[in-house]
């Protein structure tokens, strides 16, 4: 199942969730699809299901891509497909930010600048426990999110403690909440910033699952953590939403949903 | 009482491999023996308190029982969102160990006066709050916290108080019927106990555990008195005074309840916490002079 999850299928699930529920965050969900597929492909999902102490952990720090997270989890067998119909539905636990009330989610997020730090603590703990199971800790982080100072506290710490079991994937879609990051707080040069903090840094096409997956191998030479800058397109796959900041918030109507599905197909 | 609690942590770490001790670059001449004995379960995160809290949450996710230690103003105020989102929402059994309660940092100005923190924390359901009032209780507190297996905050004063010599969460020292009951905790409890020594008509109710409140124990004590005075080195409205008022209102108990506590931040310099206890009239002499 791992290698057969198609980005288009996940995107179709996301569009269905967002259209049926009238929910937002289309752009942020679409940009992260291949990253999420690479993350879940790189871990043993059976251990996540059994809650094995030495399981790999996935932390979705940009919690507003909940639709993409749940859709990807469903395609990996971590949630039933029928659960996606519950998204944003009153009385359910499938809220618009990633929640650990949903089975097999490690940590609830929503406020930015938390998930990477929790992932760092988890990586430290697993390293201390020394399971020798090859377990990894993966954190998906937004590019706007790294304007939060707490992220840099986490990065400094992870590098200092040689947490090579930690992988931080940056969804570098270059648009934050209402504008392009270059206009608000320019992150450039991002690669050099992380390198200056002592991380192993890769800069890849964030819509290439194989390219991302190739980076998710611990560096046993310098034992430093890994940052994968995934260059993505916000709203990827939905032509009218690509590069448009407004699709952080805008909701799909029937006409636009049909247009988006037709573009995917 | 820091020493007793750190000693208890050291002893417990010898038998419980789940305990992970984290510091925010504080605790000189206090924490080194833990670092030396348990290097795999000790970390100094540096001056990065937001990370201190979230890393603790991550360690709890990995199966540890983290204890995060620094001065309370850094531990609580700076990290309020991290405490709520990463610890409380997940019911992680992380213990926040904060020092320098109330006016312990007297000359260091209001950034270092810790007179508003646990009242903020008590707005989080599921967070236990302790304020050890004596060495005896401090020595026993870690066992209680670990057994209760919930998020917890321990507010540690700098003094080493011999009285009340009890491991109980609530200590009631009876006074004369229909007189004044002083309700207090932490350093301010010492002012109350000294006042009771000089005027045995005063009753004293000392709370070592503030949240959850022992409603039955408190109400039983309140019933014996005509006047209730809540004495604390913390804002009254959000602190114990507020809690006692809520308790009485919700229980249909009609009592005169007053607060002896700071009512604002101050930039005045005090050489010790005694200066501020006197300023806000909850030092022993003021209690004796004002309350009959």
Q: Give A191-247 as a 3 state SS string.
A: HHHHHHCCCEEEEEECCCHHHHHCCCCCCCCCCCCEEEEEECCCCCCCCCCCCCHHH
Going by pLDDT thresholds of 50, 70 and 90, the confidence category of residue B292 is confident
Per-residue pLDDT averaged across B185-201, rounded?
A: 97
Contact flag A126-B85 (C-beta cutoff 8 Å)? no
Does any domain span residue A142? yes
Per-residue pLDDT averaged across B46-53, rounded?
A: 98
Task: State the smallest CA–CA distance between residue A157 and chain B in angstroms.
Answer: 7
Task: State the smallest CA–CA distance between residue B62 and chain A in angstroms.
Answer: 5
Q: Which residues of B20-36 are buried (b: 16+ CB within 10 A; e: fewer)?
A: bbbbbebbeebbeebee
Does any domain span residue A54? yes
Specify whether the CB–CB gap between A8 and A264 falls below 8 A. Answer: yes
Does any domain span residue A1? no
Contacts of B20 in chain A (CB under 8 A): 125, 128
What is the C-alpha R_g of chain B? 19
The verdict on A257 touching B (C-beta cutoff 8 Å) is no
Does any domain span residue A136? yes
ipTM of the assembly? 0.97
Residue A109 corresponds to which tokens in the numbers above? 């997020």
Residue A50 corresponds to which tokens in the numbers above? 């059994």
Give me chain A's average pLDDT, please.
Answer: 96
The shortest CB-CB distance from B61 to any of A107, A150, A156 is to A107
Per-residue pLDDT averaged across A217-237, rounded?
A: 97
Per-residue pLDDT averaged across A214-221, rounded?
A: 96
Which domain, by its residues, includes A67? Answer: 7-264
Distance CA A226, CA A212 (A): 12
Per-residue pLDDT averaged across B232-244, rounded?
A: 98
The shortest CB-CB distance from B61 to any of A110, A118, A157 is to A118
Look at residue A1 in the predicted model and tell me its pLDDT.
42
Sheet containing B256-260: order of strands: B170-173, B203-207, B180-184, B227-231, B256-260
Nearest CA in chain B to A116: B54
Task: Give, in order, the Cα–Cα distances in Å from A224 to each of A118, A152, A197.
Answer: 18, 15, 10
Residue B81 corresponds to which tokens in the numbers above? 């969102």
Q: Give every CB contact of residue A196 below 8 A, 6+ residues apart in sequence.
A: none
Per-residue pLDDT averaged across B59-69, rounded?
A: 98
Residue A31 corresponds to which tokens in the numbers above? 């940009």
List % helix, strand, coil for chain A (3-state, nearest 5): 45, 10, 45
Specify whether the CB–CB gap between A90 and A80 falls below 8 A. Answer: no
Contacts of B21 in chain A (CB under 8 A): none
Q: How many Cα neighbours within 13 Å face the side chain of A20?
A: 15
How long a stretch of residues is chain A?
265
Q: Supply the angle between the helices A149-160 and A115-129 in degrees, to the nearest 10.
A: 20
Task: Give, in order, the Cα–Cα distances in Å from B29 to each of B2, B125, B134.
Answer: 11, 35, 21
- In eight-state DSSP terms, residue B106 is G
Query: Can you give the CATH number for the domain in which A231 is found?
Result: 3.40.50.970
Q: How many domains does chain A have?
A: 1
Per-residue pLDDT averaged across A180-206, rounded?
A: 96
Segment holding A159, helix H or strand E: helix A149-160
Interface of B with A (CB under 8 A): 20, 40-41, 43, 45-46, 48, 50-51, 54-64, 66, 81-82, 85-86, 89-90
Q: Which of A183-187, B183-187, B280-284 has the lowest mean pLDDT?
A: A183-187
Contacts of B83 in chain A (CB under 8 A): none
Does any domain span residue A188? yes
Residues facing B130 on adjacent strands: B154, B209
Q: Which residues of A119-138 are buried (b: 16+ CB within 10 A; e: fewer)?
A: bbbbbbbbbbbeeeeebbbb
Q: Give every CB contact of residue A247 below 8 A, 6+ residues apart in sequence.
A: A26, A27, A234, A235, A238, A241
Neighbouring CB atoms inside 10 A of B196's CB total: 21
Look at residue A265 in the predicted model and tell me its pLDDT.
84
Going by pLDDT thresholds of 50, 70 and 90, the confidence category of residue A248 is confident
CA–chain centroid gap for B191, Å, is 16
Task: Give, in order, the Cα–Cα distances in Å from A151 to each of A115, A118, A140.
Answer: 9, 10, 12
Per-residue pLDDT averaged across B254-274, rounded?
A: 96
Give the mutation candidate from A47, A115, A121 for the B interface (greatest B CB count, under 10 A): A121
Nearest 10 degrees: Cα torsion A124, B117, B131, B127: -60
Look at residue A3 in the predicted model and tell me its pLDDT.
56
Nearest-5° Cα angle at B127, B122 to B132: 80
User: Per-residue pLDDT tens for B115-158?
Assistant: 999 999 999 999 999 999 999 999 999 999 999 999 999 999 99
The shortest CB-CB distance from B50 to any of A53, A108, A153 is to A153
The shortest CB-CB distance from A121 to any of B54, B85, B90 is to B54
Does any domain span residue A2? no
């Amino acid at each position: 199942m791992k290698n057969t999850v198609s980005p288009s299928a996940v995107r179709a699930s996301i569009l269905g969730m967002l259209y049926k529920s009238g929910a937002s965050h289309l752009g942020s969900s679409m940009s992260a699809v291949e990253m999420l597929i690479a993350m879940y492909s790189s871990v043993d999902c059976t251990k996540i299901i059994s809650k094995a102490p030495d399981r790999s952990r996935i932390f979705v720090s940009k919690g507003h891509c909940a639709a993409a997270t749940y859709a990807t989890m469903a395609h990996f067998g971590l949630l039933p497909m029928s659960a996606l119909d519950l998204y944003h539905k009153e009385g359910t636990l499938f809220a618009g930010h990633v929640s650990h009330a949903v089975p097999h989610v490690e940590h609830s997020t929503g406020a930015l600048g938390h998930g990477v730090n929790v992932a760092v603590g988890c990586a430290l703990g697993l390293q201390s426990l020394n399971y020798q199971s090859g377990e990894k800790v993966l954190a998906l982080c937004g590019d706007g999110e790294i304007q939060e100072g707490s992220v840099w506290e986490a990065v400094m710490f992870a590098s200092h403690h040689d947490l090579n079991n930690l992988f931080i994937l940056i969804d570098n879609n270059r648009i934050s909440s209402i504008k392009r990051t270059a206009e608000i707080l320019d992150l450039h040069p991002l690669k050099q910033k992380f390198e200056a903090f002592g991380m192993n840094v890769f800069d890849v096409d964030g819509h290439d699952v194989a390219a991302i997956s190739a980076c998710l191998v611990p560096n046993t030479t310098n034992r430093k953590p890994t940052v994968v800058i995934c260059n993505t397109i916000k709203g990827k796959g939905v032509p009218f939403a690509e590069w448009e900041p407004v699709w952080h918030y805008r909701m799909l109507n029937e006409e636009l949903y049909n247009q988006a599905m037709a573009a995917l197909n | 009482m820091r020493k007793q609690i750190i000693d208890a942590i050291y002893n417990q770490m010898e038998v419980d491999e789940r305990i992970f001790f984290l510091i925010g670059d504080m605790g000189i001449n206090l924490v080194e023996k833990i670092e030396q004995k348990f290097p795999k379960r000790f970390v100094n995160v540096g001056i990065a308190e937001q990370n201190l809290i979230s890393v603790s949450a991550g360690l709890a996710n990995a199966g540890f029982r983290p204890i995060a230690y620094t001065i309370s103003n850094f531990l609580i105020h700076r990290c309020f969102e991290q405490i709520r989102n990463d610890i409380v929402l997940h019911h992680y059994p992380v213990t926040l160990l904060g020092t320098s309660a109330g006016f312990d940092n007297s000359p260091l100005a209001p950034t270092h006066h810790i007179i508003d923190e646990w009242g903020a924390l008590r707005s989080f359901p599921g967070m236990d709050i302790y304020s050890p009032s004596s060495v005896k209780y401090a020595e026993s507190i870690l066992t209680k916290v670990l057994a209760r297996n919930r998020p917890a905050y321990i507010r540690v004063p700098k003094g080493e108080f011999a009285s009340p010599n009890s491991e109980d969460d609530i200590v009631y020292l009876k006074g004369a019927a229909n007189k004044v009951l002083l309700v207090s905790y932490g350093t301010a409890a010492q002012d109350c106990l000294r006042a009771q020594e000089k005027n045995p008509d005063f009753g004293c109710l000392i709370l070592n555990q503030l949240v959850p409140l022992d409603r039955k124990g408190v109400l039983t004590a309140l019933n014996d008195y005509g006047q209730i005075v809540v004495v604390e080195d913390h804002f009254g409205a959000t602190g114990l005074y507020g809690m006692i008022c809520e308790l009485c209102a919700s229980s249909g108990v009609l009592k005169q309840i007053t607060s002896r506590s700071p009512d604002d931040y101050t930039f005045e310099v005090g050489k010790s916490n005694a200066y501020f206890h006197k300023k806000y009239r909850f030092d022993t002499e003021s209690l004796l002079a004002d309350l009959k």
